[in-house]
Amino acid sequence: PLAVVQKGARPALGWVKLNTDGALNLQDGVAGAGIVAWDTGNFGTAECRRYTISVIQAQWRCWRVEMQSC
């Protein structure tokens, strides 16, 4: 597979941009979630987690990670 690099726009002054992504391998039940938060010009925080759980649990945890960063 070929990697695609996309550059995002900076958030407006006073805002924080939150990027999230996740993946799930249905064959072995391994899931992953990642999050990056940044302001107008400075890097803020990043986090990545690996899960070995059911699809429903993976979706719930990804959503919960996103909500904790708000």
Q: Which residues pair with 17 in a beta bridge?
A: 38
- Residue ranges of alpha helices (H) inside the chain are 55-68
Q: What are phi and psi of 58, to 5 degrees?
A: -65, -45
Q: What is the pTM of this model?
A: 0.52
Residue 11 lies in a domain: no
Domain boundaries, position 37: 17-68
Residue 10 lies in a domain: no
CB atoms under 10 Å from CB of 53, counted, come to 14
Instruction: Determine the pLDDT at residue 2.
Output: 75
Residue 7 lies in a domain: no
How many domains in the chain? 1
Mean pLDDT value of segment 22-46:
81
Q: How confident is the model at residue 27 (pLDDT cuts 50, 70, 90)?
A: confident
Instruction: Determine the pLDDT at residue 15.
Output: 87
Residue 34 lies in a domain: yes
Instruction: Determine the pLDDT at residue 9.
Output: 77
Residue 59 lies in a domain: yes
Q: Using alpha carbons, list the distances in angstroms from residue 61 to 8, 11, 34, 50.
A: 25, 26, 11, 11
Residue 38 lies in a domain: yes
Instruction: Determine the pLDDT at residue 69.
Output: 63
Residue 30 lies in a domain: yes
